[in-house]
Amino acid sequence: MALGTDGAKTFTRDTNYISDRITTDGADGWPVEPGRYRLVVARACPWANRAIIVRRLLGLERVLSMGVCGPTHDVNSWTFDLDPGGLDPVLQIPRIKDAYLKRFPDYPRGITVPAIVDVPSGGVVTNEFNQITLDLSTQWGEHHREGAPDLYPEALREEMDEVMHRVYTEVNNGVYRAGFAGDQTAYDAAYDRLFAALDWLSERLADRRYLMGESITEADVRLFTTLVRFDPVYHGHFKCNRSKLTEMPVLWAYARDLFQTPGFGDTVDFADIKSHYYEVHRDVNPTGIVPKGPDLSDWLTMHGREALGGKPFGDGTPPGPVAQDELVPPGHGVS
């Protein structure tokens, strides 16, 4: 929490991440190598959900393994409580904190997901979530599946970066700014900023199927992971309650369009999402009670966005079925 210029208690995210990159040329000492690294995620986390989606859309499952933490954590970080014996089967550790400390014994900052771990050494390489997904697109190209979409088209990057920056500051982080505001002034300002941005996005998407035009890009991935959590969590838990997503016609149709696209909805675990926010954030929800609602069946209803044209994967193709060992558990998604 930080004080704003008006003295308001404004939520400020710690953005000092491990900035090492895994690149084709290995400039930071971490060259792209199939099988060497493990992406550690939690399906509950919107930042990690981005990486899950991008990895799946690009078909990197066979070269970049994935470890999945449970939905809750304590002060010592995310744990592998979903795995037999509570140990990640590849890294053989009970919590992701161990990989951070393996590389940095006195690591002083937050232990976050997504993180990419160097399997041979057991140490974390990076947790810079914004760069991780871009590098999966631009540095791992040799290992993309046939028909993988171009999620970061070079011709669109300047505009894309501006759009993604606004989505991050005003929406992805905006819901947290509202939810963790320390006083009424900070909350009111965060609320107004968030819904101003959602109104802007509604206008932008009114006559184009995706944020950058006719095809899905990284920008859509980044917005989707907040929208899919909006009604189950942010509307009530974070007091972002001017409107539900289902009451914002353009964004609701856009979100359903993406949800029904292979690679998006099949990565979403609503049970983990609700468990994480309502059980972990005891300063916001002291009882830890997880609400039963909302009804999620509408995510599979017709959205009508195909009338705007476009090709979701550009000149590419949809990803294949989710690997059996990476399926969202029965009852955790929408059926």
What digits encode the pLDDT tens for the residues 151-190? 999 999 999 999 999 999 999 999 999 999 999 999 999 9
Say whether pTM exceeds 0.75.
Answer: yes
284: pLDDT strictly greater than 80: yes
Phi/psi of residue 121, nearest 5 degrees: -90, -20
User: How far apart are the C-alpha atoms of 199 and 231, rounded to whole Å?
Assistant: 16
DSSP 124: E
Contact criterion met (CB below 8 Å) for 147 and 317: yes
- Is there a catalytic annotation at residue 176? yes
pLDDT class for 7, splitting at 50, 70, 90? low
Could you tell me the two tokens for 199?
Answer: 């109104």
What is the average pLDDT across 51-67? Answer: 98
The CA distance from 241 to 239, in Å, is 5
Band (pLDDT 50/70/90 cuts) for residue 1 is very low
Active site residue 240: no
Please state the φ and ψ torsions of residue 279, each to the nearest 5 degrees.
Answer: -90, -35
Tell me the per-residue pLDDT of 90-114, one tens digit each, with 9 for 90 and over. 999 999 999 999 999 999 998 999 9
For the record, the structure tokens of 36 come out as: 């060497």
58 vs 148: CA distance, rounded Å: 5
Q: Which of 37, 100, 152, 176 is catalytic?
A: 176
Residues pairing with 171 in the sheet: none
| Residue 315 vs residues 141, 215, 217, 229, 312: alpha-carbon distances, Å | 16, 9, 13, 30, 9
Task: State residue 312 phi and psi, 5-degree precision.
Answer: -50, -40
**213-236 pLDDT, tens digit each:** 999 999 999 999 999 999 999 999
Structural domains present in the chain: 37-143 (3.40.30.10), 157-326 (1.20.1050.10)
Give backbone dihedrals phi and psi of 319, rounded to 5 degrees, phi first: -70, 160
For residues 2 and 200, the model is more confident at 200
Q: What is the pLDDT of residue 5?
A: 47
- CA atoms of 172 and 218, how far apart (whole Å): 14
Contact 137, 191 (CB under 8 A): no
- Give residue 3's pLDDT: 40
Is 200 within any annotated ligand binding site? no
> pLDDT tens-digit profile of 121-156?
999 999 999 999 999 999 999 999 999 999 999 999
pLDDT of residue 76: 83
